[in-house]
Amino acid sequence: MDIGSNSVRLLVAEAAPGAVPITLAEAREVTRLGESVFRTGRISKEAMGLVCGVLAGMAQTYRRFDVIGVRAVATAAVRDASEREEFLENASAAIGAPVEVISGEEEARLIHLGVQSRWPRRSGRLLIIDVGGGSAEMIVSEGGELRAAYSKQVGAVRLSGLFFQNDPPVPAEVHRLEEYVHEKIGPAVKEIGTGPWDRVVGTSATAAAVVRAIHGIPRSQREAADRLPVSFEQVQQLAEDLSRKSLTERRRVTGIGPRRAEIIVAGVLVFRRMMADFGVSTLHYSSAGLRDGVIADLLERGVGRERSRLNDEQRRVVRATARRYGVSVEHAGKVAELAQILFNSLEPLHQLPPEEGRMLEAAAYLHDVGHYISDTAHHKHSAYIVAHSELPGFTARERELIAQLCRYHRKAMPAPKHPAFRALADEDKKVVMRLAPLLRLADSLDRSHQQRVEKLECHLRDGSVVVLLQSEADTDLDEWAGERAAEIFAEVYGRPLALVKTRG
């Protein structure tokens, strides 16, 4: 579910690795959630009631399919709203599942993932432009991998309210809007460059309306617009034509719906400015978007099947974050490796869903980032840094769990007097309590930071846990630290843990 600044969208799909997802149901309702936010900074009561009503209806739709995974995301309008928490609470209640606000960077990542899932480009350089209601995303992909992403507050709903006082807009308003967009996207243009591009893709309902209007495709045949190209000259001509038309006249243009006509001028002007600044001669429309990225992301996360490891993108993010704060990636990687062995081997004890193993792996990479602030109480600093980092590819809940695991990788274990831990849901408290001893043990077994433990095996024997360390090197320091961590393990799991070193 995609709660945008202009509309709310639902996509229910059946997805399998290596296959294009099969759409089972989809819906879209124009709600203009962003209008009140961009004007006053607040979500009006009318807008909140309308959106929550739409969400409740969409929830009834997806429940008919007995789905195994749900993700609901809110974008620019909710990001900007002063009463964001109230909206999230009401929206979550309406659909019976958590609703989260995603950052512009996460929005861009999901858009890229959605386009690649529907129209993959595994070679060459790709530029994706998504013009939504509140923001626009500019995404560069090389060889199928996301290389750069920018999100700017130049969405069609936002700009329409900000610049247009007349209908049709007067030339001065059009000029000011384009100059504003030019200034806002300038840093992205400077960083990304002007090509050459192997493919430039436009996504969003605005892009669909632009392509349909240029090709004369009725909205009833909207699927026919998918992958069709338009030239810069065609977009420029359409922008000039629509800028001179009144709302009534724009509503009569083939391919542009009655509600879209209210904001299409701003939308097409943003596309024209971006195509000019990025040196784009031809733009192809893709019907894929954020909602397709959410489906692809759920699939990559292994929703509904066993998976305990970070995917490649998540691992790239945590490794990059670790490097940013001066962490030894060699040590962090070794801790992650050992933690995964402990997690998988001790599943009969912790009885956690396999996907929680990803939180343990991420925390293993990030547990030492707090040294960047101070060596004293660095575990608390690590928790703060993680909790306030965007970490694209992770949900808000996952980020908080990772932060809490970093907090408790040393010193005191979780306690009710700790506010952040107390604020967790009961199930999440259990996750932190059961994973923290594993992270401590994994970290301790590389106390030397020399990766001296070559191999690790865990065995459950007669009510106790035996951990076999294989190494030809001196591991006295690692064993000493491991024995101290074993005491915490025994307290949490009610079983003694013995470390035994073997050679060869």
DSSP string, 340-409: HHHHHHTHHHH---TTHHHHHHHHHHHTTGGGGT-STTHHHHHHHHHHTS--TTS-HHHHHHHHHHHHTS
Question: How many angstroms from the chain centroid is the CA of residue 18?
Answer: 21
Q: Is residue 297 in some structural domain?
A: no
Domain limit, last residue, from 102, 131, 147: 102
**CA dist., res. 473 & res. 124, Å (int):** 46
Question: DSSP state, 153?
Answer: S
What is the identity of the amino acid at 419? P
Q: In terms of domains, do 230 and 373 share one? A: no
pLDDT at 504: 61
Q: In terms of domains, do 11 and 127 share one? A: no
**What's 381's domain CATH number?**
1.10.3210.10
Q: Which residues of 214-224 are buried (b: 16+ CB within 10 A; e: fewer)?
A: bbebeeeebee
Q: Tens digit of pLDDT per residue, the chain (504 long)?
A: 999 999 999 999 988 666 788 899 999 999 999 999 999 999 999 999 999 999 999 999 999 997 888 999 999 999 999 999 999 999 999 999 999 999 999 999 999 999 998 898 888 999 999 999 999 999 999 999 999 999 999 999 999 999 999 999 999 999 999 999 999 999 999 999 988 999 999 999 999 999 999 999 999 888 899 999 999 999 999 999 999 999 999 999 999 999 999 999 999 999 999 999 999 999 999 999 999 999 999 988 867 555 678 988 999 999 999 999 999 999 999 999 999 999 988 988 998 887 899 999 999 999 999 999 999 999 999 999 999 998 999 999 999 999 999 999 999 999 999 999 999 999 999 999 999 999 999 999 999 999 999 999 998 888 899 999 999 999 999 999 999 999 999 999 999 999 999 986
pLDDT at 230: 97
**What's 187's domain CATH number?**
3.30.420.150
Which two structure tokens, joined as six digits, stand for 318? 């945590």
pLDDT at 37: 94
Q: In terms of domains, do 195 and 283 share one? A: yes
How many domains is the chain partitioned into structurally? 3
**In 3D, which of 365, 422, 362 has the Cα closest to residue 398?**
362
**What's 83's domain CATH number?**
3.30.420.40
Q: In terms of domains, do 473 and 344 share one? A: yes
- The range of the structural domain enclosing residue 58 comes to 2-102
Q: Is residue 110 in some structural domain?
A: no
Q: Measure the N-to-C terminal CA separation of the chain; round to a whole number of Å.
A: 53
Tokens 């009561």, located at residue: 45
Q: In terms of domains, do 278 and 375 share one? A: no
Q: What's the order of all strands across the beta sheet hosting 497-502?
A: 455-461, 464-470, 497-502
Whole-structure pTM value: 0.67
Q: In terms of domains, do 241 and 327 share one? A: no
Q: Quick count: other Cβ atoms within 10 Å of Cβ 102?
A: 25
**CA dist., res. 334 & res. 340, Å (int):** 10
Q: In terms of domains, do 229 and 330 share one? A: no
| Residue range 27-59, pLDDT digits in tens | 999 999 999 999 999 999 999 999 999 999 999
Q: In terms of domains, do 234 and 315 share one? A: no
